[in-house]
A and B are shown apart, each in its own frame.
Chain A
């Protein structure tokens, strides 16, 4: 999600809440000799509101699971998740009086800091990376379809190479028929460099584009490799080579897309599980602290 001028009202509201909370904290903060902030009425209010913000932020997951629910636009939920989730940290810090606590409270504070930090990191990535993907991955595909597309690319490449070999073989056998000038111009040996290039370089790249040291994984080196290949084969095969080069380019873009996708969503591996643990332990803390 891009953080742009459409977030202005959320930003202003968040700053207003933060300012009011900071003012209340400055007024209501008890001196050190009067104990912790959490048990005071303002401290409990900070804790309750902060925890409510966390719950709201967590409800985004439920909202996403059931997109047909007509309870606000997904974009509004996302903005609420972002800003109220961010606000929960200062509110909980006001609740604790900027003390780290011990035992469960220390664990909760650690979880909250990690969750909010990972959320901020994720929000920054979600703001920046989609533009990078648009710029660098012109052949973007649906992420879940990526393996299927890769398989299709491999199959298409194999068919192109096999087709080129067959054409040269046909041309060699019935060359007098001379159906096309290009076919007439090639022999079976002429297609050997292409087959050799495919088997040695392109097939391993298409099978495992993340393997280390592959020339075709790099656009410049791939361009050089295909340029050299063009010099080794007759012009009749240049069209095939261009197709193969495009397949390699698409494969590289898929790899880049996969890499960026990992950055774009990988932080959620930390953010979501820790958020759930935070909510669970936070509820335990709230019940126990209020009860005792």
Chain B
């Protein structure tokens, strides 16, 4: 009765396989180790931008005692990406890998976690301890302050007198009859500026006066549909707001400075009177007779120079006091023959420390965000949507728009990026690729 001492085949096979399969697993690991392929230990695939480095662990990881450490050195990152530091007054610079976490599959490495930002901005300390930024921001959803432009209460710094409400009214008198203006009639991105503008005027010369913006234009790397191009008179106003300066002349003054307009007016009037000398004899206008003053003669006969001077003065009075003034602020200095036009101060980008892309928001109508545009009557009205408008979509959740810091803010200023000189060769990166086929 020694049957219980003998191992049954089923048990024997079970024991054998229980040793063999784990041993096979060890062989599997060892085989990858011998081949130098450490992908088997990888916590996950690399982001697409680093996919070619999948077998090049040493490209990022530090080697310690012949083995790759979990540590990555910033120098290794900066051999390809020499990004600028965030701010001159920052007291702490996180390591690259603490924000840009790799081995997490197909992700954008720029999509950093909020924690990467709030480790400083959650309790902001700066060198010298002076800052214009909010000192405690933990998330966009909770305690991100209202946008600075709206927070200041100063209003729009622009000087062009524009009544959005009037321009959005139905049956507005257009160049060819009643019109209903739309936002895109005046506000378009630079990429769309070449499309026909419905209220432009081919007869009006654009002039050479530079547009004076309150803020510098966005950097050239910004997508061309991200921000709206600064509206110009010729593109958006000229068809309705003509610059005709004299009833006897169909020509219009260029949209330029008074120093350019004045000689233009004089030259046009000189040409006109030379062609119409009969008009040097001016009949008395009874409507301009002043009471208790002697009644002038029925006719006055002027020299061409006198006629041009008088007519220029009348035309420029009309221009400076009415036509130009309808939109511009003119500064009349005593003793100066011509007024000065105040800088337009049109703001192209209201949030200099954040990025916004209008083209990414084409899903929604302009008015749904810029609701105040339909009621605004003052230039000073700031039509920038508030943070609450953004939070309607940009909030935490799975069926909402991205709400993490990186969506609007950039840590590294791309304008300060420095050139790098990588040490990789093409053969380092294409180990497994088939040799290229050379065709004649």
Q: Give chain A's interface residues, CB within 8 Å of chain B.
A: 29, 31-36, 38-39, 99, 101-105, 107, 142-145, 147-148, 261-262, 265-266, 268-269, 272-274, 276-277, 280-281, 284, 288-289, 291-292
Contacts and interface: CB of A to CB of B under 8 A. Distances in A.
Interface in B17-50: 17-18, 20-22, 24-26, 28-29, 39-45
A265 B13 CA distance: 12
B22 to A, nearest CB: 5
Interface stretch (B104-112, B137-145, B217-225, B337-345): B104-112
B420 to A, nearest CB: 25
Contact of A292 (B4, B24, B43, B45): B43
A35 B105 contact: yes
Given A276-B22, A280-B25, A39 B14 contact: no
A103 B18 CA distance: 22
A284 B3 contact: no
Interface of B: 1, 3-4, 6, 8, 10, 13-14, 17-18, 20-22, 24-26, 28-29, 39-45, 61, 68, 70, 101, 103-108, 111, 398
Given A33-B111, A269-B17, A272-B17, A145 B3 contact: yes
A275 to B, nearest CB: 9
14 contacts: A29-B398, A33-B107, A35-B101, A35-B107, A36-B104, A144-B3, A262-B10, A268-B14, A273-B18, A273-B20, A277-B21, A277-B25, A284-B29, A292-B41
Contact of A291 (B6, B17, B70): B70
B102 to A, nearest CB: 9
A168 to B, nearest CB: 35
A272 B18 contact: yes
A39 B44 contact: yes
A265 B20 contact: no
Contacts of B105: 35-36, 99
A257 to B, nearest CB: 13
A277 B107 contact: no
Contacts of A29: 398
A38 B42 CA distance: 12
A269 B14 CA distance: 5
A110 B18 CA distance: 17
Contacts of B111: 33-34
